[in-house]
Amino acid sequence: MKRFKNILCYYSKTDGSAALDRAVRLARENRAKLTVVEVIQALPRKYESKKASAIKALYAKTLIGSRNHLEKIIKPWRKKGIRVQSKILKGVPFLEIIRKVLCDKHDLVITAVEPRKKLKDMVFGTTALRLIRKCPCPVWAIKSTQTVSFRRIIAAVDPDPGNTEKTALNYKIVELASSLAEMEKSDLYVVHCWSKYPELLLGFGYTDIPSEQVNCILRDAKKIHKKLLDEFMHKISLKPGHFQQKLLAGDPGVQIPKMAKREKADLIVMGTICRVGIPGLLIGNTAEKVLDLVNCSLLTVKPDGFITPLQLNK
């Protein structure tokens, strides 16, 4: 896998080791530049006065300690020839990470997945979730239970020949997943979930159709989606025997986690197409549901042309 050349790893002292291990390995395989960042909350303005000199001194020591800790961690990697540097950012983690991505044109963010412990995490999401929603480059969310290697990888696609944006996103997903599967010598599953749309229509209660006719309609719908998946797979250049394709029926936010658990998947690669609700506020998507329900890691990819609602300070 040689796609990523400028990787950013968000380090957290409490749960960042798995993310760091993956970032280093990927940087080595890609001969990529790696930046490891830790984000320290900015000093509140009320403590900037001369009367708060002790607090300012404590803050300065915290920044120095953080910088020294990161340098100590990355020093052995430098000796092994990995192009790695550290950076301490000040502010809100997801905001500062996205600004760093925009400023330095990082092509991948790797982050640990923190549990939702606080009320604000329940409402707004953790750093990983906010990055999945708003970061312009792919985000790899690593669970703390992640193993060193990936034995099984799931690539979730949604073939739709009439939607060029979605088609391009599907290609990206399979490209990333297949490259990782080749690098890790993993089993690859290309999965498409189709919703039982006819059942949704019947749920409105405006039609009276015998159950056998309903089953016939559902079989026809399944055939349509199978054909779409077959046609998509025919167009991509995966080696025969190096992957399996699966057609699942139902909500992808439910069915993909079920499959991941059933197949003991280590990584899911999928797209994240955020919808805009209140102006400037991106609301949830399938990727978020999946992240909450699986024990494996998640690599999310944005569609071409995605523009983050956050911008660099001018």
139-192 per-position pLDDT tens digit? 999 987 665 678 999 999 999 988 898 899 999 999 999 999 988 889 999 999
Q: How big is the CA angle at 48 (ends 47 and 49), to the nearest 5 degrees?
A: 95
- Give the pLDDT of residue 215: 81
310 confidence band (pLDDT: 50, 70, 90)? confident
Q: What is the mean pLDDT of the chain?
A: 85
Q: pLDDT tens digits for 27-49?
A: 999 999 999 999 999 888 888 77
Split at pLDDT 50, 70, 90, the class of 200 is low
The average pLDDT across 47-59 equals: 82
For residue 78, pLDDT over 60 is answered with yes
pLDDT at position 5 is: 95
Determine the average pLDDT of the residues in 87-93: 95
Task: Give the total residue count for the chain.
Answer: 314
- In the beta sheet, which residues pair with residue 153? 188, 267
Topology, domain 1-146 = Rossmann fold (3.40.50)
As a whole number of angstroms, the distance between CA 262 and CA 166 comes to: 27
Q: Where in the chain is the domain with CATH 3.40.50.620?
A: 1-146, 147-314
Q: What is the CATH number of domain 147-314?
A: 3.40.50.620
Helix (H) or strand (E) holding 248: strand 244-249
Q: Could you give the CA distance from residue 195 to residue 174 in angstroms, rounded to a whole number?
A: 21
Query: What's the pLDDT at 115?
Result: 64
